[in-house]
Copies of this chain bind each other. A is one copy, B any other.
Amino acid sequence: MEPRLSLVTLCVTDMARARRFYEALGWRASGPAEGVTFFQAGGMIVSLYGRAEQAADANLPAEGSGFGGIVLAHNVRERADVDRVLDEAAAAGATILKPGHDIFWGGYVGYFADPDGHPWEVAWNPGFTILEDGSVRLP
């Protein structure tokens, strides 16, 4: 299995609300597809899909849960970009889980949750290289 991730599907309970949120962040949804919304995110795809449908598709429980142990991260080039992106997310309807703060490994990070509760970390990590096209490279 090649070391790559092609898609991350975020399950939603209200597609219109979820789509509005990501569009308010400046993401552009790709042409209409029934019951699913796709965003090109660099070399991969982020998709929005109904939680019940996804649970049925993958034999996963539709109910219960909460934090499933997956956190998405968006890394930025400058320290000040963290607060800017958190503000932008809050304005688009996100819940701020934790405001920007210095962290022991030398970075500056904050967290928000999207309207379905999916956690996002917004991070400035001076140890990671962000290329021109936005992709990140480990040292």
Residues of A within 8 A of B (CB): 1-12, 25-28, 30-31, 38-46, 51, 54-55, 57-61, 64-75, 85, 88-89, 97-98, 103, 111, 116-119, 121, 123, 128, 130-131, 133-139
Contacts and interface: CB of A to CB of B under 8 A. Distances in A.
Given A68-B70, A70-B8, A116-B69, A44 B3 contact: no
A120 to B, nearest CB: 9
Pairs A-B, 10 closest by C-beta atoms: A68-B68, A43-B135, A11-B69, A6-B75, A7-B73, A4-B42, A3-B27, A9-B71, A60-B67, A1-B25
Contacts of A72: 5, 7-9, 70
Given A60-B97, A138-B30, A44 B42 contact: yes
Contact of A11 (B8, B46, B71, B74): B71
A138 B41 CA distance: 10
